[in-house]
Structure 1
Amino acid sequence: MARSKEFDIDHVLGKAMAIFWQQGYEKTSMQDLVTGMGIHKRSMYDTFGDKHTLFMKAMERYAEQVASRMEGRVADAPSAKAAIRLLLEATVYRQKEDPYGCLLVNTAVELSNHDPEAKDKVNFAFEGTERLLERLVRQGQASGEITSHLAAADLAAFLHNTFVGLRVLVKTLDKDSDKLQSIIDTTLAML
């Protein structure tokens, strides 16, 4: 007779995500995961597979949460430009809540050169963000608040680059929020 799980899979996956987010993939040991998740090693392997598979699942969960949060932020924005500002400013001000930066950006820096699956997961999530930005740019171009001299896809790529850059800078410029705000203001002025 098979035993039923004695833990909430979603809950322990959230714990694993937090551990990877704080420590990175390479620095996270199996013992860190077992201890932090509060489950037995055998249960972890039976439920999630190996460390890499668990990490991929944690990244998927993180990407889904971020995408949902971004969609929620822009849903009630009064304009496309205001929505873009909300996204950029949230990147800066979420640092207080997420002191480890962005798991996707951290993974891109740590693993993309030698882990094709991690690279693909990061790129998939980044493409989703870029599609959201392109949708907002198109709305702004249609209303006349964003220049139509450049293709919406090109502006979205530019904005995404700014977005990722802010996610990196926010980890090092935590005391210089004026500089981060200036980057946001300049980016929006260029639109």
Structure 2
Amino acid sequence: MGRNKEFEEEAVLQKAMELFWKQGYEKTSMSDLVEYMGIHRKSLYDTFGDKHALYLKAIDYYSVSISERLKTVISQADTANEGIKSIFDIMIHGTNERPWGCFIVNAATELALRDKEVEEKIEAVFARSEKLMGDLVRKGQESGEFSCGLSAEALGEILHCTLLGIRVYTRTSTSRDKLNHLADNFLQLLKIQNK
């Protein structure tokens, strides 16, 4: 008879994600993971596979959690403008508890160009994010909050790129005041109507 797992899978997956997030894929060894996750090496392999498979699962885990968080923020906003402002706030100020930037951006810059599986996951996450941003912009266009000079899809892509840039900035010494200023300027651009 097999032994029951002595750990909660989601909790240890979150720990693996945090360690990869802090250190990056290349700098994280299996020994680091075993120690940080608090499980035996055999349990890690039996449950998650090798380091690469665990990393891919960590990307999925992060992707689902950030997507749910953004959807919750958007659903709680009364207007599209408030929704976008809240997303900027999360990206700028939500990094204080974890000042490691964005796990997806980190994965993209570290591995996507040389790891096809990581690249495919990152592309899928970016596509979902762009769609979410596009839908939010469309809501603002339909309510008259935002300009219709560009399509919601195009503005969603630009918004997504702006948010990615901010996530990179949060890993530098750039002041939060500058990032807030960028967010405010972007929202003003959305409101400029065609003459």
TM-score scaled by length of structure 2: 0.94
| Aligned partner letter, 1:151 | S
Partner of 2:163: 163
Cα contact 1:95–1:171 (8 A) shared by 2: no
Partner of 1:136: 136
Partner of 1:8: 8
Cα contact 1:140–1:146 (8 A) shared by 2: yes
For 2:103 and 2:42, the matched residues in 1 are separated by: 26
Q: How far did residue 107 of structure 1 move?
A: 0.4
Q: Matched residue of 1:172: which SS?
A: coil
Count of matched residue pairs: 190
Q: How far did residue 10 of structure 1 move?
A: 1.2
Partner of 1:51: 51
The runs of at least 4 consecutive aligned structure 1 residues that moved more than 2 Å come to none
Partner of 1:65: 65
Cα contact 1:138–1:152 (8 A) shared by 2: yes
Partner of 1:184: 183
For 2:173 and 2:89, the matched residues in 1 are separated by: 14
Q: How far did residue 173 of structure 1 move?
A: 3.2
Q: How far did residue 168 of structure 1 move?
A: 0.3
Q: Percent identity?
A: 44
Q: Matched residue of 1:97: which SS?
A: coil
Residues 36-185 of structure 1 correspond to what in structure 2 (within 5 A)?
Answer: 36-174=36-174, 176-185=175-184
Q: Matched residue of 2:148: which SS?
A: coil
Q: How far did residue 128 of structure 1 move?
A: 1.4
Aligned-residue CA RMSD in angstroms?
Answer: 1.0
Q: Matched residue of 2:139: which SS?
A: helix
Q: How far did residue 81 of structure 1 move?
A: 1.3
For 2:11 and 2:158, the matched residues in 1 are separated by: 36
- List alignment gaps of at least 5 residues for structure 2: 191-195
Asked if 1:20 corresponds to 2:25, the answer is: no
Q: How far did residue 120 of structure 1 move?
A: 1.1
| Aligned partner letter, 1:89 | D
For 1:17 and 1:87, the matched residues in 2 are separated by: 22
Q: How far did residue 184 of structure 1 move?
A: 0.4
Q: How far did residue 9 of structure 1 move?
A: 1.1
| Aligned partner letter, 2:184 | D
Residue by residue, what CA displacement relative to the aligned partner does 1:77-107 show, whole Å, maximum 9, x if unpaired? 1211111111012100011022111100000
